[in-house]
Amino acid sequence: MLLSKFTKVVALGGDGTLNLAVNALIGSCCTLALLPYGTGNDFSRGFNCKEGD
């Protein structure tokens, strides 16, 4: 699997991007960082993160 070569993944997007990234990383040991840059950003807004923070 391609992800086995990586330990960190950065996702730039919103809730849909986060959903795809989390599901792709199931079973891996990768650390995921989300840079909020989507249209909804409900997940990021829940943590008081703003676009560009």
3-state secondary structure of 40: coil
Confidence band for 40, pLDDT divided at 50, 70 and 90: confident
- The reported pLDDT for the residue numbered 20 is 94
Q: Is the predicted pLDDT of residue 1 greater than 70, yes or no?
A: no
> In the predicted model, what is the mean pLDDT of residues 20-31?
92
Residue 18 CA to residue 10 CA, distance in Å, equals: 10
pTM: 0.75
- The reported pLDDT for the residue numbered 25 is 92
Residue 39 CA to residue 13 CA, distance in Å, equals: 8
A 10 A CB-CB count for 24 gives 16
> Which amino acid does the sequence have at 10?
V
Dig out the tokens for 36 from the structure.
């909020």
> In the predicted model, what is the mean pLDDT of residues 15-38?
91
